[in-house]
Amino acid sequence: MSWMNIELILLITLPALTAVLMYFSRDFNQRVRNFLAVSGAGAELYLIVSLFIYNFDQVKNSNFFLQYTIGYQDTPFVINFAMDNLSLLFSLIVTGAVFLIVIFSTQYIKDKENRYFGLFFLVLASIQGTILTADLFTLYLFIEAITIFTTPLISFKKTEETTRAAMQYLFYGITGGVFFFISIILIYFNLGTLKMAAVAESFALISTPMQLTIIIFFLLALLIKLGIFPIHFWLPRAHSACPAPISALLSGVLLKVYLYIFMRLFWTMIAFDFLVELHLSAFVLDLALVSSLIGHVFALQADNLKKMLAYSSIGHIGMILAVLMLNTEAAFYGGMLHIIAHLMMKSGLFLSSGYLLQTTLSHHIDDLKGIGHKNRLVFIAFITVCLGTIGMPPLIGFVSKWYVLLAFLKARHFFGAFVVAAGSIIALIYYLRYISQAYETVKSESPSLKEELISLKAFFKSTNTMKSVIYTFTLLIIFFGLGYQLFEIPVNTAIFELLNPQKYIELVLGG
């Protein structure tokens, strides 16, 4: 009877099956293994894109909704999977980015690929589960799963530094998970249900101090996971220690998933009015802005390329969180666009830095001398993405930052507007530091730009797969910067979901 909407389950089980398959691929030919990995991620992307295209009319009218129920229909504790426009948007962008990262990793990772890809696809499965689930306990399970699966990936290189970073990541991840779990227990004791929709319906029945406790623990958990200021120090270490594709996954994709959870919890499940009533929204807004500023300032003093990028991530995530806390339609538009923009830009930056750092001695700024001459086109791509992050006009970073700035100005929140502008200027300085260092002349011979362009003929050879992924990200950033209206429909419908949580609640409870 419920062949309907089987796609939702497939979205979660398909990467899990791929993971098991990849785990046993040690004896496979490298070509076969790469093909398997790419096709596993490609099938996932195909599924979600076809979901988007086949339901395009419904998406346009923002009444798109899919639901899948596991268990006995009329019992109070079935597990629901639901997909509305918000989940669809996030699932789409996350899967697209992961697909490109998988293509990059097939060339980048040279040893123990079977375990690497096994864990990678498990992370993908848990990300999809996190996005699709409509049940608090399943959400908790998947959040914990993400932490546990990414920890070994961080310490993939097995040096002292990476191990320390991974241990710290695990510790803070688990601590955040425990806070999340406390909130879940409190909700269960008070309401006797863990369905998000049912909780949303009756959250007002809980006494106010209890509401405060629940919300504070949820906030603590998510602020730890997002790396907001007081508890941010684990993030740069963890995000810079791992191999480049994992950095891109953590910084580009996973932080957005936590932002999605944030929206799901505080707009759909717990209405945002509760945060305003308890005077928490203004506090979180200021905290996020301070965090944004501090992230950018710390990026200024970071002498390690990947650490600099990770600190800049803190800056951007703080900005997105702050603009979402404004709770206006313009703010959501800017925030969503910047989520998409930051996803593409940070993945592109980390992947290209990973490619550039293959030939250098270390990640330190002094060892980067002359890499701009060695890999001209890749470095030009790197500069383009950097400009996007700063907010140069034809690129998507400009569009999203512009709307964020407008939202702050519209809400008459001038500190926020200041942070956005100051962040851009500080970002300009710290990127220029690296760019000027990279163009320092060194004595060694390097091919001229003409030769490099001639070598474009070899563009589609397998050795250039990594480069082509980097170029794809760069072109996407330029393309969507010019045609950001393409995101109009998915983003606007996602905002509709945020503003009208009633629809989600009714549809989930209605079965």
Percentages helix, strand, coil for the chain (3-state, rounded to 5) are: 80, 5, 15
Single residue of 25, 105, 151, 313 touching another protein by CB under 8 A:
151
- Give the dihedral sign, CA 141/143/148/150: positive
297 touches 232 (CB < 8 A): no
Residue 404's region, left for phi above 0, alpha for psi from -120 to 50, else beta, is: alpha
Query: Closer CB to another protein, residue 118 or residue 227?
Result: 118
How many whole angstroms separate alpha carbon 335 and alpha carbon 324?
6
Is 82 in a helix, a strand, or coil?
A: strand
- Tell me, by CB under 8 A, how many residues bind another protein: 54
Contact pick of 88, 97, 101, 122 for another protein (by CB under 8 A)? 122
Window 15 to 74, contacts with another protein (CB under 8 A): 16-17, 20, 23-24, 68-72
Nearer residue to another protein within complex by CB, 149 or 484: 149
Distance linking the first and last C-alpha atoms of the chain: 14
Quick one: which of 115, 164, 433, 503 contacts another protein (CB under 8 A)? 115
Q: Which of 43, 148, 178, 422 binds another protein (CB under 8 A)?
A: 148
Nearer to another protein, 212 or 411 (CB): 212
Among 44, 144, 201, 497, binds another protein (CB under 8 A): 144
Q: Does 149 bind another protein (CB under 8 A)?
A: yes
- One of 57, 160, 207, 463 touching another protein (CB under 8 A): 207
For the bound state, the minimum distance from the C-beta of residue 308 to another protein, rounded and expressed in Å, comes to 27
Residue 44: count of CB within 10 angstroms of its CB:
27
Shortest Cβ 194–another protein spacing (Å): 10
Min dist. Cβ of residue 71 to another protein (A) = 5
User: Other CB atoms closer than 10 Å to residue 49's CB: what's the count?
Assistant: 13
Q: Is 189 in the site for another protein (CB under 8 A)?
A: yes
Q: Is 279 in the site for another protein (CB under 8 A)?
A: no
Nearer to another protein, 4 or 449 (CB): 4
Q: In terms of CB distance, is 72 or 460 closer to another protein?
A: 72
Q: Which is nearer to another protein, 177 or 354 (CB)?
A: 177
Q: How far is the CB of 128 from another protein (least distance, A)?
A: 12
Distance from C-alpha of 85 to C-alpha of 263, rounded to nearest angstrom: 13
Nearest 5°: phi and psi at 195?
Answer: -70, 130
- For residue 364, give the nearest of 316, 406, 302 by alpha carbon: 302
Least Å distance, CB 17 to another protein, is 7
Query: Tokens standing for 423?
Result: 């962040």
Minimum distance from residue 135 beta carbon to another protein (Å): 9
Residues contacting 93, CB < 8 A, separation 6+:
256, 339, 340, 343
Specify the stretch interacting with another protein by CB under 8 A; choose among 77-85, 260-268, 319-327, 497-505.
77-85
Q: Does residue 175 belong to the site contacting another protein (CB under 8 A)?
A: no
Min separation Cβ 479 and another protein, Å:
36
Name beta bridge partners: 70: 79
Q: Within a 13 Å sphere around the CA of 112, how many CA atoms are in the beta-carbon half?
A: 11
The structure tokens listed for 141 are 């399970």
Nearest alpha-carbon partner for 438 in 362, 380, 373, 503:
373
Which position among 64, 104, 108, 142 is part of the footprint of another protein (CB under 8 A)?
142
Q: Which residues of 406-421 are buried (b: 16+ CB within 10 A; e: fewer)?
A: bbbeebebeebbebbe
Beta carbon of residue 264, minimum distance to another protein (angstroms, whole number): 18
Whether residue 243 contacts residue 351, with contact meaning beta carbons closer than 8 Å, is answered with no
Indicate whether 1 belongs to the interface with another protein (CB under 8 A): yes
- When the beta carbons of 212 and 435 are compared against another protein, the nearer one is 212
Q: Which helix (H) or strand (E) segment is 79 a member of?
A: strand 79-83
The dihedral sign for the CA sequence 290, 258, 339, 354: positive
Q: State the nearest-atom distance from the C-beta of 262 to another protein, in Å.
A: 21
List Cβ neighbours of 189 (8 Å cut-off, separation of 6 or more): none
Closest to 352 measured CA to CA, from 433, 440, 467: 467
Query: Rule CB under 8 A: is residue 218 a binding residue for another protein?
Result: no
Stretch that binds another protein, among 50-58, 139-147, 361-369, 476-484 (CB under 8 A): 139-147
The residues that touch another protein, with contacts defined as CB under 8 A, are: 1-3, 6, 9, 13, 16-17, 20, 23-24, 68-72, 75-79, 112, 115-116, 118-119, 122, 125, 129, 137-138, 141-142, 144-145, 148-149, 151-153, 155-156, 158, 163, 166, 186, 189-190, 192, 207, 209-210, 212-213
